[in-house]
Structure 1
Amino acid sequence: MLISIIIPIYNMEKYLDKCINSVINQTYKNIEILLINDGSTDSSIEICNRYKLRDKRIKVINTDNRGVAEARNIGIELAKGDFIGFVDSDDYIELNMFEKLFDLVNKNQCDMAICGYFIEDERNRIIKVGDPKNEVNIFNTEEAMKALINNGNYTSFPVDKLYRKSLFNDIKYPKGKIYEDADTTYKLIHKCKRVIYDPEPLYHYVQRSNSISHSFRPEMMYRLEIDKNLTEFIKVNYPMLIKDVYPIWYRTNIQLLISMYLSKYEDDELYKYIIDNIRKNIVYILKERNIINYKEKIIAVSSCISFNMMKEVLYIINKVRHI
């Protein structure tokens, strides 16, 4: 069966060779590679065209700059494969990733396969392995949803997965929004009858020191809306999981607070809004045991006591150990 691998690209000339080489050298050969050049202003398009001449499986699609979500949507619309996978253009993958994921889907009659991942720095030093557990799990729809919202096995990352293409028949990534994966993955899982997860790390997620994803921006507040959408979705479709989903919104507030501090972002009204959300739910935050860790609880409590204490706690935690 044909797998369509979609790579959104925007000004990634420094990393593109490593990414594309890891895809064209996959041990699973029946693939098409869709390079979606999202209005790059560097030499990314020249690199794409060079690879296109070398490998007939590669298609290059040029668009004006519309963002990663729309680049993925364009790739999905053009994909001819039975299955779809995504790779970010500043990351790379193990050479057997798509062979392994396809075997998992095909042999177990699943609609989605998920693998583990490495988080590493620009020198390829491993910072974290996504899931240290070593067991394969096959989930029904409810179990897969529970694993997602509890962050127990895998995350909403779009790139460590292989999807049956039909899952996207009426689902698109939200255009012009950040965290587009968090607003989409749960909808895709909802359409799956079976999901298989293998924690073997096959995807390399590279954290860049200058990445904008590490800096707070006001549009990141959209994550709170996503969490509310997810909560309503769970309430309607999986009422038995409603207690599992509530802590996600609580934790997002804490994480936004941390991001604002680390980015030295100054906005008293925004700080007040987030801290008010935390204060109103502090009892539930302290009781939660699955998603919110002890550092986040300490930060939440300190924010309820005083703004200055919260800043002191964040400073100490960040100095002793990176958040």
Structure 2
Amino acid sequence: MQSDQILISVIIPIYNQELYLEDAIQSVLSQDHGFVELILVNDGSTDKSSEICYKYIEQYDHIRYYEQTNRGVSAARNKGLSEVNGSYVFFLDGDDRIDRKFLKEALRIAEKNKSDFVAIGEDYCFRSKHIMALPTCALFLKMDFLRSHPDIRFPNGIQPCEDGLFSHQLLALTNQVALYPEGMYYYRQHDDQNHIIINKNTTKVLAQIPEWLEILKGFYLKNSLYKSHALHLALFIEHEPFELRYIRMPFEDPQKSFLFSLIKTFMQQHVMPFLCDNELTELSIPFRFFLTADDHKHFDEFYVNYQYKKTKKFKMQLLFIKLIPISKWRREFRKKVRKNYYKL
């Protein structure tokens, strides 16, 4: 296969995924679209992942394989990016798989809309008004766009949030984003997943968050984006360090106090001076209260009450749904209610 024939490059970073890796590879090989190259990057696996990779590169000339000492998922993805021949790139984790039509349809949408990004999956496309970041499973990316910003890559040594920081910066630099809500990425949940293991280590995650903020400060300053993209940045801070970390992680009281001050100080210094009143209303009620709270205990008291009222309303809505006579309407309304409940 000649490089000028390759339209899509799929990068799979691999670390000890022998149980699931063949499913991931086969899901790429079975794609309806033929002009695809597969780049396997083994990030120092100690299991039989390398044996699986060697088996496939012996059979298929459009699969390339690279090995490196264990340096983390960011380094593995960046290595894959440096070897891409395709016009578009997609990142598939070694323990997941994709639907047969996934790449063909993503390419069709990208070319039809002349997009730099295609956001994939209903869970991410419903936020299309303000997409502030995308995980790799929801990201189909044009390589010409990425090459025009060579300083933006996955941050080495960062996990979690490495994909959020990568996509957030790129999304700030383009309006050419198309949507593919029907895209089916099959996400495998198991106890050995890196992000599950990492998120249990509250000390490690908390130590990285100041690094996230330094990356953001450098990017927004370099590109003079504070004024024009204040809402974009605010929504990212709301989602990543606030919702996914402060709200959802089991931090101890001193850790919550530290993170509360860190987020609030960053917002006061780098976001709030540039955020318009109408943009402020785009933030969730809990996050707006967080920004005005006296301390983390003040916010936590509010949030417990907020969640109680929200859950009570949710249960009442579910009871009402049972009274809807048409099953199709019941399903649609139930889906909408559940989606709203899991928002902040």
TM exceeding 0.5: yes
Is residue 83–residue 163 contact of structure 1 (8 Å, CA) maintained in 2? yes
* Residue equivalent to 1:173: 154
1:292 alignment partner, one of 261, 278, 284: 284
Question: Residue 206 in 1 paired to residue 188 in 2?
Answer: yes
1:75 corresponds in structure 2 to: 80
Per-residue deviation at 1:74? 0.8
Residue by residue over 1:56-99, the C-alpha shift from the partner in whole angstroms, topping out at 9 and shown as x without a partner, is 21111111111111111111111122221111111111111111
Deviates more, 1:44-53 or 1:246-255: 246-255
Structure 2 partner of 1:41? 46
Using CA pairs below 8 Å that are at least 6 residues apart, which structure has the higher relative contact order?
1
Distance 1:225 1:49, change over 3 A: same
Quick one: which amino acid aligns to residue 9 of structure 2? S
Match of 1:215 in 2: 200
Aligned to 1:111: 116
1:162 is matched with which residue: 140, 156, 173? 140
TM-score normalised per structure 1:
0.73
- Does structure 2 retain, via aligned residues, the 8 Å contact 1:247–1:292? no
Report sequence identity in percent. 25
Larger helix fraction of residues: 2
Letter in 2 for 1:148: I
Tell me which structure has the larger Cα radius of gyration: 2
| Structure 2 CA distance for aligned equivalents of residues 58 and 293 of structure 1 | 48
Gaps of 5+ in 2: 273-278, 313-340
Corresponding residue number in structure 1 for 2:171: 189
Contact 2:110 2:116 in 1 (8 A): yes
Q: Secondary structure at the match of 1:75?
A: helix
Who is 1:245 aligned against? Answer: 233
Unaligned runs of 5+ in 1: 118-128, 138-145, 150-154
- The answer (yes or no) to whether the contact 1:112–1:163 under 8 Å persists in 2 is yes
Paired residues for 1:83-122 under 5 Å? 83-116=88-121
**Which residue of structure 2 lines up, in the alignment, with residue 147 of structure 1?**
130
Give how far 1:17 is off: 1.6
Letter in 2 for 1:172: R
Distance 2:175 2:306 in 1: 43
Greater strand content: 1
Q: How many residues align?
A: 288
Q: Distance in 2 between matches of 1:36 and 1:314?
A: 45
